[in-house]
Structure 1
């Protein structure tokens, strides 16, 4: 079994190297910076920055579905007929929209360690507990993203006429099927512009994970600056990478928006 995991790991590393936009066979640094301080390999900082780019993208892509799911559940809670559920959902959004993202990250990263340490100590375990920085970063960004996402989805829910629910009842659908077949497609179309903006914000917010030691774009370029003293060069590279991610996202999200509009027209 260990051999299988090793083989899968090697295959994934090979795929990552082939499609690496910076240090892959067709990467930017490979072609245009081979004789500079940004070169890939032992002679430059290209590999480190490329690894930071992968971490940034991974954090954003893992955070997105988790934040969407939590945000959707919170939006449903805000519409619940149970007053306690509405109150809990309202408190959740108020807290995580009101706290700075960096403070939320610190609370989750250090607070979870203290909490787990205390629980284990009650069972007689005195060893040191450390939370994985990637895991903590994803959880922190997810709760912040979900708090804003829930408000966007709540507004979209309220924009859907109540007659849509009544139509589902008239067709004999239970409420879950009405939500899935009738409400959810309209919800996606209405909420999409707001969710696009949140995705752009999420891309920028991934830079906070560098504070807890995760080797993302900002941390890797920061280390390079400390060693080489080439602050302008490396921070310009970091700017270019974040802007590149934003531009690529804009093209992809524009396609999704056009697809959503065509789907609505075809109905």
Structure 2
């Protein structure tokens, strides 16, 4: 799968990991469709020029995401949609029992699962249906799906039951999806980022962010969105990367 002249849909593309991925792929000669609920995605796409389009859509909506994929397929022309990099999601923190002895909010838990896990499944199924119609490339591929998990899927901390469960579900879908979609020549991969400099990270106190950075063995800092984008590009171009989850975390293991 080549990046140049390919067409890729990126969710969560208004900022952070998604925005960096859209920028890198566009710079490498790809067409990119930036998808997000935040209306700033429009201005971000405009900065990337005519090789980029913006699409506002909710990843949990069948109708809105179908429109996003229809836009991407049309943008790709005869080549259709080459791949999807799914970065959209939410972080949630809540203990099962709070300091006053009250149980966690069940609706909040269900919302996290709905966005991070059901939303991922929604994106995957629509992406697969679109790319299965492609004419295979010279290497025999029809497309690639790259999901975003998290090291919390493996090293969940206190208060991360909802978030860890949602991302563990993304990990769990990777291999069965890759096996199923192999008959369509579509690869499925997932990236599990560690602690990264993203808008989500800005929500925690500076002292906590510094402690997380210090816990990374090497390099002893937070990850950069551009490094996630670099790995996404490498997954696209390497056909042997399939059915796997790659930790991108500098060797950190959360306590």
TM-score normalized by the length of structure 1: 0.25
Which structure is higher in strand share? 2
Between structure 1 and structure 2, the one with the greater Rg is 1
TM-score normalized by the length of structure 2: 0.26
